[in-house]
Chain A
Amino acid sequence: MESLMPPPVRRIAADRQATVAPAPSSNGGEPALDGAPARARGLSRPDRPRVPAIERMRAENLVLAYGGKPAVKGVSLPIRQGEVLALIGPSGCGKTTLLRSLNRLTELTPTATREGRILLDGQDVDQLEVTQLRRRISMVFQQPNPFPMSVFDNVAYALREQGKKRPGKKELAPQVEEALVRAGLFDEVRADLQHPALRLSGGQQQRLCIARALAARPEVLLLDEPCSALDPKSTEVIEELIVRLREEVAIVIVTHNLQQAYRVADNVAFMYLGDLVEYGPTDQIFHAPTQHRTREYVGGAFG
C-alpha cells in the first residue's frame, strides 16, 4: 500500500524570504543586501564603477493624454548617459506612455495628445524629422520581436538609412558585427548570421533586438520591460548588458520588477496615477524614500 502514497511534498525552505535591513555600512557606501540571490549580489551596486554622467535628454512638464484622459500629468525628468534611469510604478501609472513619448511613438495612437517639451541634446524633438529622431532614440519592447529575416539582416535593416542609397552587405558587415558584439550576442550567432532570426531562443532574440536598436549608434536606448518574457538566466545576461551599456548610451528602462530596478538603475522615478511621485538615486528611493506612497510601493520590493 505504501507504493500508492504520493511522495512527500518538499517543504519550501523557511529562510527563502530573507529580510532586508537597509542599514548603511560603515564606510557610508551602499547597504548590504542580505539573502538576495547570488546573481543579484554579482551585480550588486557597490562594485559598479562610477561613470561620468552627461545629460542627453530632458522632459519638461510633460503632459500626455489619450482622448482627453490624462495618462501622464506634468512630468519633468533628466535622462543622462552614464546612468540608468528606471521608471517604476503600478500598472496603468503612465510609465510606458512616458517612455513611448520620448521617441514620439505615442503619435502612432490617433487619440494621443502631448504638451510640454522633450529635449534631445538641447533640441526640441518636435523640430527633428521623426525617422531621424528615432534613429537617435531607439527602443526595445517587452516581447522579443525580431523581423522575419536573417540575424544579419535584422541588424542591417536598422543600419540602412531611409531614402539613402542602400549599402551592400560587405560594407555593413563590420557595423553589424560591432552591434552584435555590443549586445553580447556575437559569439553565439557568429556561425548563424544567415539563419532566420526567429529560430533563436527568446533571450537571444531579445539581445538581437538590443543589437538592432544599438546598430545606428543611438544616444538614448528605451527599454520597455525588456526581460518580462524571459527566463532568469537570460534576464541576468541582459541586466549585465544594460549596466555595461550605460557608459555609451543613456538608458531608460520601464520595469515591473523592483529587484531588477534595484539591480540595474542608478536613478529611479516612481510614478503613480500619472504623477511623478518621487525621483532620486536608487538607494534613496529604495531605502529612504521621502514620499509615503513610494515607501508603500517599494515596501514590497524585497519582502
Chain B
Amino acid sequence: MAAAAPKRTGAVESYSTWRWTDRLALALCWACGIALCVAAASILLYMGFRGLQYLRPELLFERPTGAVDQTKSGGILDPILGTLMLTVLGTAIAIPLAVCVAIWLVEYGRPAGLARAVESGVEIVAGTPSIVLAIFGLIIFQQPWLGWLSFTAEGGGVFGRSLINASIMMSFIALPLVVGATREGLNAIPGHVREASYALGKTKAATIRRVLLPAVRPSIATGTALGMGRIAGDTAIVIILLGNTLLIEPQEGMPVLGLLTGTGSTLTSYVYENSPAGEGGAYEKAYAAAFVLLLVVLVLNFAVARVVGGSSTSRSNLWNR
C-alpha cells in the first residue's frame, strides 16, 4: 500500500522542558490576552444591553430640558449634534496643521535643531492632559483681543467659552496622532519614488502635492480616525471651554458665526452630568447617551476610513513588495 500523506504533527516542543518561570510567563500571556477580550466584550455587551434598554428612538430627536422629572427631561439631540460638530471642527483644524508639520519634519527637517524642537513640541502636546489644555485655552481665549471668538458680557468681560474655542483646543488632541501617522507614512515611501519625480523635472513642491500626499492619504485617515475617537471621548475641554450648556445656544444675530461662537454640550458631558457622579443622577439617560456615543465614534471611524482613505488598495508598502 502506498503510504498515506504524512500527518502533520502537533506541537513539537514539550513544555515539560521549560523552566517553571517561563511556563508561568507563557500562561500569563495567554491569560492577559483572553482577559482583554473579556473586558472589551463586557464593555460592549453591557453598554449595548443598557443602551438598548433605555434608548428610545424619540430620545435621538428631542431636545433636552432641565427638568428633574426624568419623564420630562427630553432627549439628547443637542449633545449628539454637539459631539458631531466638535469632532468635525476639531479634526478639520487638526488635519491640515498636522500634515504640514509632518511634511516639514520628514521632507525638510532642517536645521536639525529646529526639527528636534518641533518633534519635542508634538510630544509635549501629545502628553499634555486635556484638562491642562482646557485651562490654558480658557486663559488664552479670555484675552480681550480674542473676544470675537466667544460671548462678550456687558462691561467687556470675555466669556472665553464657545464651540470654536473648544474645537481649537480639541485639535491639539488630534494633532499628534495625525502627525505621527503621517510621518510614518512618509517615512515608508522609498527615496527612489521622490527621485523618480525629480528626474522627470518636477519640483519638490509638485512632488509633495502630486506623489507624496496621495501616497500617505491612508496614513492620514488612520491618524484622523484615532484623533476623532479621542476628541469625541474628551470631557474636560467640553466642560471648561464649550460652556457645558445643556442646549446649543448660538449667539444671536449671526447665522453661522453665532453657532461657532455659541456654547453647547456633548454626549460625554451629558453622560457625566446625568451619571450618579454628576448632578442629575439620571442614569437611564446616561446609559442611553453613552451607547449613542459609542455608536457615533464607530460610525465616524468607518466614515473617515472610507472618505480619506479612498478606494486605494492595501495601505502599507505600496512599493516594497
Binding site for B on A (CB under 8 A): 3-4, 103, 105, 108, 130-135, 138-139, 141-145, 147-149, 157-158, 161-162, 196, 198-199, 202, 209, 212-213, 216, 222
Contact = CB atoms under 8 A, between A and B. Distances in A.
A145 B196 contact: yes
B215 interface: yes
14 contacts: A4-B3, A105-B199, A133-B201, A134-B198, A134-B200, A135-B200, A139-B196, A143-B319, A144-B319, A149-B214, A162-B201, A162-B206, A209-B196, A212-B200
A175 B197 CA distance: 19
B106 to A, nearest CB: 15
Contacts of B211: 147-148
A198 B318 contact: yes
Contacts of A108: 195, 198
Interface string B191-223: 011011111111100100011001100000000
A229 to B, nearest CB: 9
Nearest to B194: A108
B312 interface: yes
A213 B199 contact: yes
Given A3-B2, A148-B215, A216 B319 contact: no
Q: What range describes how many residues of B lie at the interface? A: 20 to 34
Contact of B190 (A134, A135, A143, A202): A143
B313 interface: yes
A141 B214 contact: no
Interface of B: 2-3, 190, 192-193, 195-203, 206, 210-211, 214-215, 312-313, 318-319, 321
A98 B321 CA distance: 28
Contacts of A130: 201
B313 A147 contact: no
Nearest to B214: A148
Contacts of B318: 148, 198
Given A3-B2, A131-B202, A216-B200, A105 B210 contact: no
Nearest to B318: A198
Contacts of A131: 201-203
Given A105-B199, A131-B201, A134-B198, 12 more contacts: A132-B201, A134-B199, A134-B200, A141-B196, A145-B196, A147-B215, A148-B312, A149-B210, A149-B214, A162-B201, A198-B318, A202-B321
B3 A138 contact: no
Chain B facing A: main interface SS: loop
Which 7 residue pairs spanning A and B have beta carbons closest together? A135-B201, A139-B199, A134-B201, A131-B201, A3-B3, A158-B200, A148-B215
Nearest to B1: A3
Nearest to A139: B199
Contact of A138 (B2, B200, B319, B321): B200
A213 B195 CA distance: 12
Among B3, B198, B210, residue most surrounded by chain A Cβ atoms (within 10 Å): B198
Contacts of B195: 105, 108, 139, 141
A142 B192 contact: yes
Interface centre among B197, B200, B202, B312 (most CB of A within 10 A): B200
B6 to A, nearest CB: 9
A197 to B, nearest CB: 10
Contacts of B214: 147-149
A157 B3 contact: no
Contact of B192 (A133, A143, A199, A212): A143
Contacts of A161: 201
Contacts of B206: 162
Contact of B201 (A143, A144, A216): A216
Nearest to B217: A148
Given A3-B2, A134-B198, A198-B313, A145 B319 contact: yes
Q: Which of A135, A149, A157, A209 has the most CB of B within 10 A?
A: A157
Contacts of A222: 199
Between A198, A202, A213, the greatest number of chain B beta carbons within 10 A of the residue's beta carbon is seen for A198
A142 B214 CA distance: 22
Nearest to B215: A148
Given A147-B210, A196-B312, A198-B318, A162 B199 contact: no
B196 A196 contact: no
Nearest to B211: A147
A199 B313 contact: yes
Contacts of A149: 210, 214
Contacts of B3: 3-4
A162 B202 contact: yes
Contacts of B200: 134-135, 138, 157-158, 212-213, 216
Nearest to A224: B192
B201 to A, nearest CB: 4
A167 to B, nearest CB: 15
Given A4-B3, A131-B203, A145 B198 contact: no
Contacts of A133: 201
Contacts of B321: 202
Nearest to A135: B201
Contacts of A138: 199-201
Nearest to A137: B199
A103 B198 CA distance: 10
A147 B199 contact: no
A103 B321 CA distance: 28
A216 B318 CA distance: 26
A138 B198 CA distance: 9
Nearest to B191: A108
Contacts of A196: 312-313
Contact of A157 (B210, B215, B319): B210
Contact of A147 (B2, B197, B201): B197
Contacts of B193: 145, 147
